[in-house]
Structure 1
Amino acid sequence: MSTIQALDFAVKQDQLHQTKFITKTYSGDLASNQVLFEIESFSLTSNNITYAVMGEKMNYWKFFPSQTGYGIIPAWGFAKVAHSSHPEVKVDQRFYGYYPMSTHLLVHVDKVGSMGFIDVGEHRKTLPTIYNYYTNVALDPANTPETEELIAILRPLFATSFLIDDFLAEKEFFHASQIILTSASSKTAQALACLLAHRKKQQKQDFHIIGLTGTRNVDFVKDLGHYDQVLSYDSFAELDADKKSVVVDFTGNHQTQFELQVHLSQNLAYNCLVGLVDWQNHRGKNPLPKRGELFFAPTHAEKRQKEWGLSGFHEKLGMAWQIFLEAIQSSILIKNYQGRDGLEKLYLDMLNGQIDPSHGNMVSLGKAL
């Protein structure tokens, strides 16, 4: 194959505001069963910031190795096959999956099935399979040209929300009468609130869904229509501390956790830790009275895939996805960013919490380089 110049966007692992672009070259023939992707576009959400903050602890840096001390943040998006040495993966086929913030990705193809294949590159063999699977866009019944950007932005977040909703239902919501979601404007929280509201209506559940958010986002969160009550962080003392409660925390803010735990005290039935939207404040001087439990979506996904089968799992996920898609399509504005400058600015804005919850952000690094 001809020589290809590629570009990676990397961040310093212990100084996330420090970024750099790294060039690399792909040249020569591919090894057996290798595929070189040309990455078309990927989404950038607060979920990617969680990947970066938890990069070392949760092995996110291992997916796409970079220079010593630097990491490439994983992102969900679309790519086309630029070169292939696998007989069942053809040039110009398009795949949805887990990509680096880069222009290209070299993968090692195995287990090609009716919907896609798994990357079995040596460095990814011990990582969760859910991240190593690439879906053939043409064979994905959930994919349409009209929803493609929404899939990249929302489906990875939605899968986490779907799994939390399923986990809480399995645990009978810990017999709580109120479920409190922090960072209620975040898209993962929106999706969870939507599923909880749907379950509440369909199954006649009697829990109260409460969203906590920043003052400037209160009206936006109320307008979503999923929450029974919306409170700003500086007024959450209005929460009824006499009711048994579940907290699903997407902020990672230490002080918010401390105040919620103190306020709810013994009526905090379950404290589910999910995200790090407010990653710069995840430490504090006050020791937490009651530590929460980190929810790692791939673990619950693997459990359900064994119980329901892979097709059963995807069928249930797909049905729930349609519910959320119908609810959110009218409330999200897609914003597109191109090239080095576009990606770097968006990333730093996201890192600094300067985001509009009504926007969905897509990046094409290969354009306007």
Structure 2
Amino acid sequence: MSVVVTEAIFEQEDVRKFKLRPLNLGPITQGQLMVRIDKFGVTSNNVSYLATGRSLRYFDFFPVSGEKPGQYGTMPVWGFGTVIKSLSPLVAEGERLWGYWPCASHCVLVPDPKRTTQASFVVRRDDLPADRLAYLTYSRVDKRALPTPSSPELEDHAMLLRGLWVTGFLLADYLAVKNNFSVAGSHPTKTVVIVSASSKTGYSLAFCLKQLAPTTEVIGLTSSRNKAFVQGTLKNLYDHVVTYQDIATQLPVRQGGCVIVDMAGDDDVTKKVYDRYGKGGVRQTVRVGASHWSSPTPTVASFRPPNSHFFFAPGWSQERVKAIGPKEFVDRQSAVWDATMRAAAGWIDVHTATGPEEVKNVVAKVIAGDYGAKDGFVAAFGEGSGVKL
């Protein structure tokens, strides 16, 4: 079985430049699956994958063939797919999968017989680091509660939030464990300052901190455009909300200092917080992503925060599974995930893009950051017409 695939490929030097191309895929061979990618979310998480495609090897998951080596990469996405042809005894045709896909209409997978269960299977990739297991695991949707919510009408919300939420949950868990935030009064630094508080990753982190470490003070930094949304819709998550331009005068300063979590990779904003808190006031800066592919020329030349490190969620996930066991790890996630979904369903506005041109438009829109805090985009290369964006 051969399929003409529609695939989006991005220039690695400037991912704002991308194109759609047809690609002949197949026929598949023994042990392989041909999967139709039914729909996927397009979020700031995907922009981070592109921005760090080389440094964190996200471009290596689905190598681009037929082009100059190193020129193009594809954008990994999270979503649902259906097995339309199987030459593997491990997975049946018609099975629905949740997982990590290329930004394309179809994909070929090879399940690892040694790591296939009734709930999921792993694709073997010896060329990738061992801590990438989460990206190589595909859930059999009908046989596992996560990430599908109990209500089918919330499936798109779950798809949009799940990848971002996992990062938020793991980061909240990391902060709680490393700083003893979950134990009242055990650590002098009990304040977390979240840069890009209106982002869905910021929302997920704030929500999970309230669940895992409720005594933590959470301060959200956001733009003037999104301040009303953060103060209104997300009012129960942030103890204080400050706009970027007001950091120097309105950001609360605590005697115990603070931890900065930078979702946007914006050194100018981070520098303002350091200046406000003074020498030694910022205990550490945790960098999570680079959701803004391009930004104005920095006013602070080459500022590199002291005590700064990059948080790599899959690495922490692997460490926690070893520490507390896989069942406890999943159980802790499940309880908080259900609560997050119930809350998020009330404010995420889902927009659907169907067909190559609409997918192209929505991807460009998200890379440019040209959307509101409430907007969530679900895309599919399949035939049909979706909502014009």
TM-score by length of 2: 0.89
1:71-220 equivalences in 2 (<5 Å): 71-110=73-112, 111-121=115-125, 123-124=127-128, 128-142=132-146, 143=148, 144=150, 145-171=152-178, 172-173=180-181, 175-201=188-214, 205=215, 207-220=216-229
Cα distance, 1:270 vs. partner?
1.6
C-alpha RMSD of matched pairs (Å): 1.8
From 234, 240, 243, the counterpart of 1:229: 240
Cα distance, 1:122 vs. partner?
5.5
Cα distance, 1:166 vs. partner?
0.7
Distance of aligned partners of 1:15 and 1:289 in 2 relative to their CA distance in 1, 3 Å threshold: closer
Amino acid at match of 2:195: T
Q: Is residue 269 of structure 2 the alignment partner of residue 256 of structure 1?
A: yes
Cα distance, 1:368 vs. partner?
4.1
Q: How many residues align?
A: 363
Cα distance, 1:114 vs. partner?
2.2
Amino acid at match of 1:239: L
CA contact (8 A) 1:252 1:273 kept: yes
Amino acid at match of 2:262: D
Cα distance, 1:239 vs. partner?
1.6
User: How far apart are the structure 1 equivalents of 2:262 and 2:60?
Assistant: 26
User: How far apart are the structure 2 equivalents of 1:197 and 1:316?
Assistant: 14
Q: Which SS does the other structure have where 2:20 is aligned?
A: strand
Aligned twin of 2:283? 269
User: How far apart are the structure 2 equivalents of 1:112 and 1:9?
Assistant: 30
Q: Which SS does the other structure have where 1:300 is aligned?
A: helix
Amino acid at match of 1:52: L
Q: Which SS does the other structure have where 2:320 is aligned?
A: helix
Amino acid at match of 1:48: N
User: How far apart are the structure 1 equivalents of 2:126 and 2:153?
Assistant: 36
1:315-354 equivalences in 2 (<5 Å): 315-354=331-370
Aligned twin of 2:184? none
CA contact (8 A) 2:158 2:341 kept: no
Distance of aligned partners of 1:304 and 1:136 in 2 relative to their CA distance in 1, 3 Å threshold: same
Deviates more, 1:257-266 or 1:41-50: 257-266
Deviates more, 1:239-248 or 1:291-300: 239-248
Cα distance, 1:31 vs. partner?
2.1
1:16-55 equivalences in 2 (<5 Å): 16-28=15-27, 30-55=28-53
Q: Structure 1 vs Structure 2: percent identity of aligned residues? A: 27
Deviates more, 1:147-156 or 1:183-192: 147-156
Q: Is residue 253 of structure 2 the alignment partner of residue 241 of structure 1?
A: yes
